[in-house]
């Protein structure tokens, strides 16, 4: 989401304020740092980084801090680093064109207004676009700072979403990534009075867009993966067959303490149902280890789910205590840091072994790839429908095309082969 927010900021500044992007810090008239506050470390890094920017920037260049840490710390950022020119929260990025010229501006309201999502179209790579379908989050996962930085969950009207995707398709995009903290609770609440809507229905609306070939989304919540959604996901040929299912923990009692709303069995049931309907499905996940109170037995439940589902990619995190979260009340049950680190390592090792077993099975297979980029070494790369990253020798003629590639080499995270058609 932050990546897309950054692209929107860039597009707005290019359209309304005549800025262009530079990769050289010393040349910049404006330096923007877009921040995440989900875990503590990046927040700590923020002040040392902006200090460095302040030293290196050219005379008169402005510095802006945007994103979740901006929402969370607000004016304190300017108090602590007075050379920061403006602060813009995660839900206010459409105001970038206004605050950029106001020294000391702090815009961090989490009030809603649909016009907040009408951005200039960001130029991502030419073949894909990302579109926010909702903002905020109504869940109360006890470890998570997001509801307090991004506010209550509000869905963006379906017709606005379709129009935005259509615009990108008209300029050559064939793939869309739908973004929200909790995409499959889409349609519960809009900023205007209108009937409820469902994520499944939105997927159906979007798949009617001609020339749009691939639909992806992140993140869905395992709790809301009902049968209707799973069936649409399985049968709709435009939906990419790679799904993110954030597990967080495999222990039912830790899931309860996290207030995730599902059990280990529910998660396994949903994953197996998906796998049964879609043999080529790839599943990615997020896991937090060392949540307060996590015993060896709880952690073994997580490993058990990992061993049963055999995720294709795992984003692992060690629990990080965050302000404004319920889990702070559990601080007496904190897991010692060395145990947390050992669990993280064990998880990473097990996952590595899974990939070392599964990836070589792709050798000899022919996969269909949307070629997206050309590298200086004469290789092209792109993704399959189930989101394998694939490399092959090739030229710019292949860019934007779907081509068949026969795989003859694998790593743990990518495939390599020869273009056959």
184 touching ligand 5AD, by CB under 6 A? no
CB closer to ligand SF4, 37 vs 198: 37
181 touching ligand SF4, by CB under 6 A? yes
Measure the CA–CA gap between 9 and 20, rounded to whole angstroms.
11
Smallest gap from Cβ 20 to ligand SF4, in A, equals 33
164 touching ligand SF4, by CB under 6 A? no
Which does residue 91 bind out of ligand 5AD, ligand SF4, none, counting CB within 5 to 8 angstroms by kind? none
Among 53, 319, 383, 388, binds ligand 5AD (CB under 6 A): 319
Among 144, 242, 309, 355, binds ligand SF4 (CB under 6 A): 144
243, 233 contact by CB (below 8 A): yes
Q: Is 137 annotated as a binding residue?
A: yes
| Contact partners, residue 275, CB within 8 Å, separation at least 6 | 281, 283
Measure the CA–CA gap between 40 and 27, rounded to whole angstroms.
31
34, 53 contact by CB (below 8 A): no
Among 87, 90, 137, 161, binds ligand SF4 (CB under 6 A): 137
83, 63 contact by CB (below 8 A): yes
Which does residue 288 bind out of ligand SF4, ligand 5AD, none, counting CB within 5 to 8 angstroms by kind? ligand 5AD
Q: Is 66 annotated as a binding residue?
A: no
Q: Which stretch binds ligand SF4 (CB under 6 A): 134-142, 202-210, 234-242, 356-364?
A: 134-142
Binding residue count for ligand SF4, defined by CB under 6 A:
9
Q: Which stretch binds ligand 5AD (CB under 6 A): 5-13, 317-325, 364-372, 407-415?
A: 317-325
151 touching ligand SF4, by CB under 6 A? no
Among 49, 286, 334, 346, binds ligand 5AD (CB under 6 A): 286
Binding site for ligand SF4 (CB under 6 A): 137, 139, 141, 144, 146-147, 181-182, 221
Query: Given the rule CB under 6 A, which residues bind ligand 5AD?
Result: 38-39, 143-144, 246, 248, 286, 288, 317, 319-320, 322
Provide the annotated binding site. 137, 141, 144
């Amino acid at each position: 989401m932050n990546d897309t927010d950054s692209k929107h900021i860039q597009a707005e500044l290019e359209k309304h304020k005549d800025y262009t992007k530079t990769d050289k810090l010393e040349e910049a008239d404006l330096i923007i740092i877009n921040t995440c506050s989900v875990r503590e470390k990046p927040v700590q890094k923020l002040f040392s980084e902006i200090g460095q920017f302040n030293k290196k920037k050219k005379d008169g260049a402005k510095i802006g801090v945007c994103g979740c840490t901006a929402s969370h710390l607000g004016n304190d950022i300017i108090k602590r680093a007075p050379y920061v020119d403006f602060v813009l929260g995660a839900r206010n990025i459409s105001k970038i064109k206004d605050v950029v010229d106001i020294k000391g501006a702090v815009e961090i309201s989490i009030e809603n207004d649909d016009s907040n999502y009408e951005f200039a179209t960001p130029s991502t790579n030419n073949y894909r676009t990302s579109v926010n379908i909702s903002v905020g989050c109504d869940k109360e996962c006890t470890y998570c700072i997001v509801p307090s930085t991004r506010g209550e969950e509000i869905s963006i009207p379906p017709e606005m979403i379709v129009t935005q995707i259509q615009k990108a398709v008209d300029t050559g995009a064939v793939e869309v990534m739908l973004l929200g903290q909790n995409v499959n609770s889409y349609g519960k609440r809009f900023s205007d009075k209108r009937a409820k809507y469902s994520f499944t229905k939105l997927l159906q609306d979007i798949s009617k867009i001609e020339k749009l070939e691939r639909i992806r989304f992140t993140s869905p919540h395992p709790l809301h993966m009902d049968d209707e959604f799973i069936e649409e996901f399985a049968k709709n040929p435009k939906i990419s067959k790679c799904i993110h299912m954030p597990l967080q923990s495999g222990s039912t009692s830790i899931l309860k303490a996290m207030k995730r709303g599902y059990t280990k069995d529910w998660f396994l049931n949903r994953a197996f149902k998906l796998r049964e309907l879609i043999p080529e499905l790839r599943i990615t996940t997020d896991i937090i280890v060392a949540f307060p109170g996590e015993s060896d037995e709880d952690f073994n439940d997580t490993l058990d789910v990992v061993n049963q589902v055999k995720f294709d990619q795992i984003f692992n995190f060690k629990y990080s205590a965050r302000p404004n979260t319920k889990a702070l009340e559990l601080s007496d049950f904190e897991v010692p840091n060395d145990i947390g680190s050992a669990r993280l390592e064990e998880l990473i090792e097990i996952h590595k072994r899974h990939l070392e077993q599964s990836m070589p099975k792709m050798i000899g297979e022919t996969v269909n790839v949307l070629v997206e980029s050309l590298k200086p070494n004469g290789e092209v790369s792109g993704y399959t429908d189930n989101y394998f990253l694939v490399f092959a020798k090739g030229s710019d003629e292949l860019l934007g095309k779907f081509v068949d590639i026969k795989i003859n080499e694998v790593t743990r995270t990518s495939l390599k082969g020869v273009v056959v058609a």
